[in-house]
Amino acid sequence: MSLDQRSVRTTAADSPDTVRPAVEIAALRKSFDKLEVLRGIDLVVAPHEVVCLIGSSGSGKSTLLRCINLIEPIDSGRILIDGVDITAPKVDVNKIRRRIGIVFQAFNLFPHMSVLDNVTLAPRKVLRTPSGRAAEEATELLARFGLEDKRDEFPDRLSGGQQQRVAIVRALAMRPDLMLLDEITSALDPELVAEVLNVVRELAGAGMTMIIATHEMGFARDIADRVGFLDAGRILEQGPPDRIFTEPTEVRTRQFLDRVIAAGRM
Amino acid sequence: MAGAISGGPGDSGLLIGLPGGGGRYGRERGSGALRSTLVAFVSTVVFLGVVALLVVNAPGWPAVQESFLNGRVFADSLPLIVRAFWVNVQLFLVSEVLILGFGLVIAVLRSLPGSVLFPIRLIATVYVDVFRALPGILIIYVLGFGIPGLGVTGVSKFVFAILALTLIYSAYVSEVYRAGINSIHPSQDAAARSLGLSRLQSMRHVVLPQAVRRVIPPLLNDFIGLQKDTVLVSYIGVVEIFRQAQIRQSASFNFTPYIVVALVFLLFTIPLARLTDVLVTRDQRRRATTAR
Ligand SMILES: Nc1ncnc2c1ncn2[C@@H]1O[C@H](COP(=O)(O)OP(=O)(O)OP(=O)(O)O)[C@@H](O)[C@H]1O
Ligand SMILES: [Mg+2]
């Protein structure tokens, strides 16, 4: 399914029970040694829905995203992607990862490869797309995000914003059904943030299902269908951005938002 | 004695003349550098001259000259020794290729996680530990005399020599590779895996290309060692440069052939050592500029 075909947007609110969730997380727990980072996460994401995760540093946002992509093994609970339990013992991890794109805070481009090779590596090696076609598709995607002239550059010659956009394109080249974005602008200079966020807006507009961990509250409010507040390893409160940002029910959410406002990040 | 240790009033004057002494005055750097070079050159010539005079005037010198620097023996043994060195070159080249491959396999096996691979990892670890612990000459002896002793015949000494050198050096080289692999930040592997690449694919396309580039200088260093250690296989009867020198020495009752061997190795090894230094320096400079 190509991105452009999914222009019709459905949210959880539109059709609560009829659509099979894109992601369904139940009672997910994860600890590092003695530190319990996720203490029972329940989260349902509908197809084409954009969920933003907010919460203070160390609350477990990154860990949750890494668990969904199976980069981190989980201790207990279940994660269903499109109805398939990916935490079942015998699943093919590589196959599942293909359908989930993840972009990290640090760009993690492959420094020894050109932009084009960064983008085509996985399609060529994993999907076995012939190099010619992989290059064509990559060039098209790069053009869509204003990167066509950077095709043959190496990552160290790009700005942070360009690198991060390449990282997004690299994930998109696998035609994922779900994108996980982990604070993808927090390593960027302020003037570069907008270009990256615009890319994400375009993806949301095209109907990509996304879970986004972010410190950019304005952006979350603007783009999210739903905002989840993560606190001490639980999703303490979730709902439409307008409600969460203006009248949160939980004291901890209010405290967090007050701190964010005091820090001038909203 | 006390004066030499504590230093006399002349010390400060001497220091200014030493290389680097001119650096104190930034504007005079050009002439300071020239003077340093000049001083270094003159002092080297004087030093070597004094040493040469002392050696040549030593009471035993004529005897030493006769047995180590005999022109006739030199001329006679040179062609034979150079021809024998070709055997060392072959030993070196063949085992180098094998070592690069085998060492890499061992390193990758040891770097791959997963409990299924545990027995293989264990074997690889034991191999590396054992072959790094044992003196090389012992391994050459055991393989060169032991395997034929088991009744394996028809295999040339050359093959055992290659086998021994490969096994000895692959253990070291695999550790060099492994250090390179470990130096690549885990986020690179995570990024590759998150795109759906398998462990091996991530290793092959993302981790190894970066790791190998980083360890080229230390690898070259190991190969300088290998070049020299090819003479060790003379002990199992391979007629290479050192063995040939021994033969010439016993034929002529003269040690000059060993001087020939020394010269050949100097000519062959020093360029490689210089190349390694150049690569190391370039690598350090590059890392200094790309460090964030
Ligand atoms: N690999 C790891 N080993 C041990 N502890 C870890 C590891 N990864 C994360 N943690 C710990 O888990 C907790 C949650 O980390 P996580 O990165 O998920 O937080 P976060 O919400 O993403 O924070 P931030 O907003 O700063 O990115 C932290 O206390 C962190 O120290
Ligand atoms: Mg994080």
Q: Give the residue, by CA position, lying nearest to ligand 1 atom 19.
A: A58
- Report the amino acid identity of residue B113: P
- What are the two backbone dihedrals, phi and then psi, of residue B188, each rounded to the nearest 5 degrees? -70, -45
Nearest alpha-carbon partner for B229 in B142, B164, B144, B160? B164
Same domain, B52 and B75: no
By three-state DSSP, how is residue B254 classified? coil
When scoring B195, B204, B212 by the number of chain A Cβ atoms within 10 A, the one with the most, hence best to mutate, is B195
Identify all chain A residues contacting B216, using CB atoms and an 8 Å cutoff. Answer: none
> Does B79 lie in the same domain as B48?
no
Mutate to test the pocket of ligand 1, among A35, A41, A74 (most ligand atoms within 8 A of CB): A35
Domain containing residue B189: CATH number: 1.10.3720.10
Same domain, B232 and B274: yes
- Verify whether ligand 1 is closer than 6 Å to residue A180 (CB atom): no
Cα nearest neighbour of A124 on chain B? B197
Same domain? For B78 and B48 the reply is: no
Amino acid occupying residue A147: L
Q: At what angle do helices B71-111 and B256-290 cross, to 10 degrees?
A: 40
A46 token code pair: 């509908």
* Containing structural domain, residue B35: 19-56
Of A184, A151, A149, the residue nearest A167 (C-alpha) = A184
Q: Tokens for B147, please give them.
A: 């395997």
Residues B215 and B267 in one domain: yes
**Helix (H) or strand (E) segment spanning residue A176:** none
- Mapping DSSP to helix (H, G, I), strand (E, B) and coil, where does residue A244 land? helix
Asked, for residue B10, whether it belongs to a domain, the answer is no
Q: How far is B32 from chain A (nearest CA, A)?
A: 39
Closest Cα of chain A to B221: distance in Å?
24
CA distance B191 to chain A (A): 6
Per-residue pLDDT tens listing for chain B (292 residues): 333 444 334 344 334 434 444 444 444 456 778 888 889 889 999 998 998 888 888 888 888 888 888 888 888 888 989 999 999 999 999 999 999 999 999 999 998 877 778 899 999 999 999 999 999 999 998 888 888 778 777 778 889 899 999 999 999 999 999 999 999 999 999 999 999 999 899 999 999 999 998 898 889 888 989 999 999 988 888 888 999 888 988 888 888 889 999 999 999 888 888 888 888 888 777 766 654 3
| Ligand 1, pocket-test mutation among A28, A30, A32, most atoms within 8 A of CB | A32
B284 lies in a domain? Answer: yes
Burial class of residue A74 (count of CB atoms within 10 Å of its CB; 0-12, 13-18, 19+): buried
Q: Is the pTM value of this prediction over 0.90? A: no
Q: Which uninterrupted H or E stretch holds B102? A: helix B71-111
The dihedrals phi and psi of A31, each to the nearest 5 degrees, come to -125, 155
Asked if B249 and B149 sit in the same domain, the reply is yes
| B114 and B156 housed in the same domain | yes
pLDDT in tens, A94-113: 888 888 999 988 878 999 99
Integer Cα distance of A27 and A80 in angstroms: 12
In this structure, the answer to whether residues B33 and B122 fall within a common structural domain is: no
ipTM of the complex model: 0.84
Closest CA to B195 of A26, A124, A131: A124
pLDDT at B17: 39
Closest residue in chain B to residue A112, using alpha carbons only: B210
For residues B270 and B221, state if they share a domain: yes
Residue A30 CB–ligand 1 contact under 6 Å = no
Do B227 and B126 fall within a single domain? yes
Distance A31 CA to ligand 1 centre (A): 10
B207 inside domain: yes
Q: Is the CB of A66 under 6 A from ligand 1?
A: no
pLDDT per residue as tens digits for the range A118-133? 999 999 999 999 999 9
Q: Indicate the number of domains in chain B.
A: 2
Is B206 domain-assigned? yes
Indicate whether A117 pLDDT > 90. Answer: yes
A65 vs A50: CA distance, rounded Å: 14
B38 and B149 in a single domain? The answer is no
